[in-house]
A and B are shown apart, each in its own frame.
Chain A
Amino acid sequence: MPQLVLIGIAAGFFSALFGVGGGIVVVPLLLLSGRWQERPAMATSLAAIGIIALAGTISYGFHGELKPGAAMLVGLPAAGGAIIGTALQQRMAGRTLSLLFAILLAAIGIKLLI
């Protein structure tokens, strides 16, 4: 429980500071904690991101910075994509998911460096 609180705080903190999504913090920390398999870690991260995005949207909404049309133009196709992505995930070995995720993470790290 305290570990989960720390993971959450770290995710929120780094996403506010560097504009990265919470998932790239939550998923590796859950995996490296040694208690989580890939699929539950990634599914639980997705649910947690829902709360973060909702809070962020409300906060930005009050400042009038949302473009709902543009957001739905990418967000609704992405909802379809997420159904495909989760279905693909069930067919992949946990180890493969970790390796592919490590590549994605490394690419994001390089992008932050340059």
Chain B
Amino acid sequence: MADVLLAVGLGVAAGILAGLFGVGGGILFVPTLTLGLGLTQLHAEASSLLAIIPTVVAGTWRQQRYGNVRWRPAVVIGLAAVAGVEAGVILAEQLPEHALRRLFGALVIMVAVQVGWRAWRRPGI
């Protein structure tokens, strides 16, 4: 029962992050499914994608009402991403994943600094 309550609570938190920042919520879904509900990593990653669907349907429905969704770019990005996944899967089998992961981590931090810096310099609250 405690596991279920924890999963529900973390689910709500993942949804808030998803709605607030336009991410899917997988950051919290995967650890909740593995550590909280005992799924294997593979099952958790697969099931996280399924959990993302109701999350983004609800979030996109609200964002549509708020007038924020640009549908054409969304479809272009989404379809291109599906092609990108195929490329990623093929390359993942051939590249030294651990070293690349660190490189990507460093890149993400640099992007974070740039996004933060641009916002910081902007006037307003």
A interface residues with partner B (beta carbon < 8 Å): 1, 4-24, 26-28, 31-32, 39-57, 60, 63, 65-68, 70-90, 93-106, 108-113
Q: Which residue of B lies closest to A24 (CB)?
A: B23
Q: Which residue of A lies closest to B52 (CB)?
A: A53
Assess whether B19 is in contact with A51, with CB atoms less than 8 Å apart: no
Assess whether A49 is in contact with B70, with CB atoms less than 8 Å apart: no
A-B contact count (CB 8 A): 397
Assess whether B47 is in contact with A71, with CB atoms less than 8 Å apart: yes
User: How far is A43 from B92 in the complex, measured between Cα atoms in Å?
Assistant: 29
What are some 6 contacts across the A-B interface (CB < 8 A)? A18-B101, A43-B63, A46-B63, A70-B39, A100-B20, A109-B112
Known contacts A4-B80, A12-B84, A81-B55: does B21 contact A101 (CB below 8 Å)? yes
* SS class, residues of chain A in contact with chain B: helix
User: How far is A46 from B80 in the complex, measured between Cα atoms in Å?
Assistant: 15
A-B contacts besides A44-B22, A86-B63, 15 pairs, CB < 8 Å: A16-B86, A23-B24, A43-B59, A49-B22, A57-B49, A67-B47, A71-B48, A75-B55, A77-B9, A78-B11, A78-B29, A84-B19, A85-B15, A104-B17, A109-B108
User: How far is A101 from B20 in the complex, measured between Cα atoms in Å?
Assistant: 9
B29: min CB distance to chain A, Å: 5
Q: Which residues of B contact A88 (CB under 8 A)?
A: 16, 19-20
Q: Which residue of B lies closest to A7 (CB)?
A: B77
User: How far is A19 from B48 in the complex, measured between Cα atoms in Å?
Assistant: 11
Assess whether A84 is in contact with B15, with CB atoms less than 8 Å apart: yes
Q: Which residue of A lies closest to B100 (CB)?
A: A17
Q: Which residues of B contact A113 (CB under 8 A)?
A: 102, 105-106, 109
Q: Which residues of B contact A54 (CB under 8 A)?
A: 53
Known contacts A80-B15, A83-B58: does B119 contact A49 (CB below 8 Å)? no
Assess whether A28 is in contact with B115, with CB atoms less than 8 Å apart: yes
User: How far is A50 from B82 in the complex, measured between Cα atoms in Å?
Assistant: 11
Known contacts A12-B87, A50-B53: does B47 contact A85 (CB below 8 Å)? no
